[in-house]
Amino acid sequence: MDDLIADFVAECREMLEALGGEIVAWEANPDDRARLDSIFRFVHTVKGNCGFFDFPRLETLSHAAEDALADCRAGRRHPDGALVSAVLAVIDRIGEMIASIDAGDGVPEGDDSALIDALAPGAEGPAQQVAMPAAVDAASKASSTPRTIRLSVELLDRVMSGVSDMVLARNELARRLREAPDDVAVDGAFERLSGIIAEMRDAITRTRMQRIENLFVALPRMVRDLCTELGKQVLVDIDGGDVELDREMIEMIRDPLTHIIRNAVDHGIETPAERLKAGKREIGLLSVSARQSGNQILIEIADDGKGIEASKLVEKAVANGVIEREVASRLSRSEQLALIFEAGVSTAKEVTAISGRGVGMDVVRSNVERIGGLVELDSTPGKGTRMVLRVPLTLTIIPALTVSIGSQHFAIPRSAIEEIVRANGGSVTLERIGGAGVATIRGRRVPEVALADVLGLPSAMNDQERTLIVLRPAGGDVYALAVDRIHDHEELVVKPAAPAVMATGLYAGTTLADDGSPILLFDPAGLAQVGGVRLETLERGGHTADVPVAVNSNEIPVLLFRGLDGARRALRLGVVDRIEEVAADAIRPSAGRLRVQLGEAILPLAGVERPDELDGKVRVFRLNDGTHEIGYAFREVIDLMSIERDVIPADVPGAINGVTLIGGEPAELVDAHWLFAEHLGTAARPQTQLVCRLPEGDAWMQNMLRPIVEAAGYLVIGDGDELSADLTIVSHGEPVQSAQSGRVLRLATDPDQVNGQDSIYRYDRTGLLLAIKSASGGNR
């Protein structure tokens, strides 16, 4: 707040200085509209800012002057000499108050009624002003505060460009000195020059940077006003206000961010009645956060509203001629959602004063791309929408490490680097699991990405000859990047890359090496994502809901492993949270069940028949359904595979629900639902059924419930399938999407939520199977 008040004072002082000549000219010619507009803008700006800073006296005074000047601008009043004198007196009083605020005393108490009365039509003029006590020594007090000056952004750009050129020249000089014979005197002078350039760089960079909090601070008030107008309740959660961004960039993204927030409140978040009907709490949640990633700032806006139905976007785009119907039928879901950024495409049922005219989101994308940024969108119907703005920091200089693959050089932000190790070092081991690389560094297992494979570049080195750079992206998890060689740590001038380059998701900008050759700067988070680390969910302890699921596809990702008894088994990848290794003495019977201690958690343990024969270290899968966890002991991971749905169901219910061929050999499929039901409910023999509809976006349904439904003989279809279903299963409180739903069964995550015969606790296995049987009278 102190920074904001300082900006307010500086802005007012600048405008007062500029108005000095305007006021005199207006007094000489009251009909001069240009001068009138300048004075009006000043009092209007002061009034608007005072409402935010809670300066009621200053706000009242400026409001009175604004009203009088507005009458003159509208032609309702002629600006005579008395009005000019009254306005001059008001501006003088405003200047005194600004001086008092600048001195740290705030706005003192006082009576401005005489000045306000003098603004009224017919008044003879302002009464004699009385000097404000706080203004007498304001100048002396202000002299002790830091002095400030306001400069144009263009001038700062020129200075920053000059500093950037100096950094590049210094880098080239450093390279030449390394190649030349040592000269102590020259080296010392060069070090002094480097220090001076570094200090100048930091000072210039700070002049352009501003906390993004200045952009976020107005959002709660804006959302509150929108909620009052729309009859909604929204809680705003803001994080990352301390992130700094170029001042000009903040202004460039102010309008796009406003568009997104208004759309989220107007179309995304439902009314309290609609939210209660959908099983949500009355108050919606709108979260806005910012974080730095390399040379980019990521601004995320997420809401828990009704989301965006991609099918409706497609229908609207086809109806408005944006795309052809044949093209629309081939679009992926992400491409369907991207239609919202096309001009004229809107899913709003009616045009409002807030949004819904089909303009806005296309402007958002064009404005962000104009400054070298990107907009990402993800939305789940009924769950909410998440939008990410990726915008460049500025033309800046960051410490970076240069690396190479073959003859190609790249840069990595030094802030993301944890350590650098040799792949063939004694503390490092590399292994491949299902085509994915895993590096064990001093006992810590992390995913491994080979840069040559990601970029498709030729490399003369094998895995054991490369160097591993351990990276931790902002807000991400640790992984190891394998490169051919590493070179120097240098300070590089980074500029935004072309939109086509940024769209790959790999890069955060472009820079120049000390010899003038171009180098691309990696975005460590984007590099991990594009690298496709398949074991990420096993190692990071992610939530089941974060795991991609194979919806209505013949390809079902599973983790193939060998149990403690030597049998080949498979688990759906989505239910495996991570792999742990524990000592055998951490496994013991407790409270009538075999349990394992994993860190500070004690979990039920499956997969062990003879605990007394365990010795040494035991590997354990940590299974997670989104709410509860259990362990499953195994001997070794064989591979990450995909299976077809030609599963032979087991005759008896248990930990194995069927058998199938994986990699040409039989493998038993572990029934994760049965395992959880065994610890949280009861087990029973599954029954058979015809067609069942499950929600496509529900990870628990797809990973936990779908296997048992399919093992019972069901054909599982999704929300968008036109087939008629005999049974539709949804979570408690979720709406049914299809009219051809048959009997609807609602599963509750909490036993206390159960109400009626079609509402069942999701781990009541007996009740669930009885409901499946009764849905079709037991017919197959």
Give the CATH number, domain containing residue 731.
3.40.50.2300
The answer on 480 and 456 residing in a single domain is: yes
Residue 269 — very low, low, confident or very high, per pLDDT cuts 50/70/90?
A: very high
Nearest-angstrom CA–CA distance, 270 and 291: 28
Residue 743 — very low, low, confident or very high, per pLDDT cuts 50/70/90?
A: confident
> Is residue 696 one of the residues assigned to a domain?
yes
In the numeric block, the tokens 């990276």 are attached to 471
- Please, which residues have CB within 8 angstroms of residue 340's CB and are 6 or more apart in sequence? 308, 313, 346, 347, 361, 377
> Is residue 339 one of the residues assigned to a domain?
no
Q: Are 779 and 690 in contact (CB under 8 A)?
A: yes
Number of domains in the chain: 6
Domain final residue pick, 179, 211, 243: 211
pLDDT at 685: 37
Q: Mean pLDDT across the stretch 281-297?
A: 83
Strands lying side by side in the sheet with 727-731? 715-717, 691-693, 727-731, 743-748, 759-761
pLDDT at 385: 92
pLDDT at 430: 80
The answer on 611 and 741 residing in a single domain is: no
pLDDT at 351: 46
Residue 140 — very low, low, confident or very high, per pLDDT cuts 50/70/90?
A: very low
pLDDT at 394: 58
Min mean pLDDT across 36-50, 539-553, 640-654 is at: 539-553
pLDDT at 708: 76
What single string gives the DSSP state of each residue in 405-447? Answer: ETTEEEEEEGGGEEEEEETTSTTEEEEEETTEEEEEETTEEEE
- Please, which residues have CB within 8 angstroms of residue 542's CB and are 6 or more apart in sequence? 536, 577
Q: Mean pLDDT across the stretch 631-651?
A: 78
State yes or no: pLDDT of 290 exceeds 80: yes
Q: Can you say how many angstroms the Cα of residue 450 is from the centroid of all Cα atoms in its chain?
A: 26
Distances, alpha carbon 393 to alpha carbons 290, 295, 457, in Å: 12, 6, 29
Quick one: tokens of 522?
């990696």
The answer on 193 and 118 residing in a single domain is: no
DSSP H helical ranges for 247-394: 247-263, 272-277, 310-319, 325-328, 333-337, 361-370
| Selection from 467-471, 598-602, 663-667, 716-720 with the highest mean pLDDT | 467-471
State yes or no: pLDDT of 253 exceeds 80: yes
Residue 589, phi then psi, degrees to nearest 5: -65, 140
The answer on 419 and 458 residing in a single domain is: yes
pLDDT at 301: 93
State yes or no: pLDDT of 634 exceeds 80: yes
Nearest-angstrom CA–CA distance, 712 and 776: 13
CATH number at residue 239: 3.30.565.10
CATH number at residue 96: 1.20.120.160
The answer on 159 and 133 residing in a single domain is: no
The answer on 520 and 640 residing in a single domain is: no
Nearest-angstrom CA–CA distance, 569 and 660: 10
Scored b (16 or more CB within 10 A) or e, 64-81 reads: bbbebbebbeeeeeebee
Min mean pLDDT across 212-216, 617-621, 640-644 is at: 640-644
Residue 591, phi-psi category: left (phi > 0), alpha (psi -120 to 50), beta (remainder): left
The most distant pair of C-alpha atoms in the chain lies apart, rounded to whole Å, by 104
Domain final residue pick, 142, 170, 201: 142
Q: Mean pLDDT across the stretch 401-420?
A: 83
pLDDT at 136: 37
Domain final residue pick, 142, 176, 201: 142
Nearest-angstrom CA–CA distance, 762 and 705: 9
State yes or no: pLDDT of 294 exceeds 70: no
State yes or no: pLDDT of 777 exceeds 70: no
Which candidate, 672, 667, 642, places its Cα nearest to that of 655? 672
The answer on 202 and 117 residing in a single domain is: no
pLDDT at 153: 66
The answer on 385 and 268 residing in a single domain is: yes
> Is residue 710 one of the residues assigned to a domain?
yes
**How many other β-carbons are positioned within 10 Å of the β-carbon of residue 287?**
16
The answer on 239 and 383 residing in a single domain is: yes
pLDDT at 142: 41
pLDDT in tens, 554-570: 467 788 888 988 889 98
pLDDT in tens, 143-188: 444 556 666 667 777 777 777 777 777 777 777 777 777 666 777 7
> Is residue 315 one of the residues assigned to a domain?
no
The answer on 358 and 223 residing in a single domain is: yes
Nearest-angstrom CA–CA distance, 641 and 620: 19
> Is residue 316 one of the residues assigned to a domain?
no
> Is residue 61 one of the residues assigned to a domain?
yes
State yes or no: pLDDT of 607 exceeds 80: yes
- Please, which residues have CB within 8 angstroms of residue 432's CB and are 6 or more apart in sequence? 438
Q: Mean pLDDT across the stretch 637-666?
A: 79
Nearest-angstrom CA–CA distance, 436 and 535: 7
Distances, alpha carbon 779 to alpha carbons 327, 514, 683, 687, 775, in Å: 41, 76, 22, 10, 9
pLDDT at 150: 64
Q: Mean pLDDT across the stretch 752-771?
A: 81
Nearest-angstrom CA–CA distance, 769 and 325: 42
> Is residue 321 one of the residues assigned to a domain?
no
pLDDT in tens, 339-395: 888 766 665 555 454 444 334 677 787 777 766 677 888 888 888 999 998 887 655
State yes or no: pLDDT of 124 exceeds 80: no
pLDDT at 1: 65
Residue 551 — very low, low, confident or very high, per pLDDT cuts 50/70/90?
A: very low
The answer on 359 and 257 residing in a single domain is: yes
State yes or no: pLDDT of 303 exceeds 90: yes
> With pLDDT > 70 as the criterion, what percentage of the chain qualifies?
80
pLDDT at 51: 66
Quick one: tokens of 385?
């929408």
Residue 302 — very low, low, confident or very high, per pLDDT cuts 50/70/90?
A: very high
In the numeric block, the tokens 């960039």 are attached to 249
Quick one: tokens of 150?
């306001």
Q: Are 201 and 397 in contact (CB under 8 A)?
A: yes
State yes or no: pLDDT of 771 exceeds 70: yes
Choose between 380 and 214: higher pLDDT: 380
Which candidate, 187, 259, 186, places its Cα nearest to that of 226? 259
State yes or no: pLDDT of 760 exceeds 80: yes
CATH number at residue 594: 2.40.50.180
pLDDT at 485: 85
Domain carrying residue 186: 153-211
> Is residue 201 one of the residues assigned to a domain?
yes
- Please, which residues have CB within 8 angstroms of residue 35's CB and are 6 or more apart in sequence? 22, 23, 25, 26, 29
Q: Mean pLDDT, the chain, as a whole number? A: 76
The answer on 428 and 494 residing in a single domain is: yes
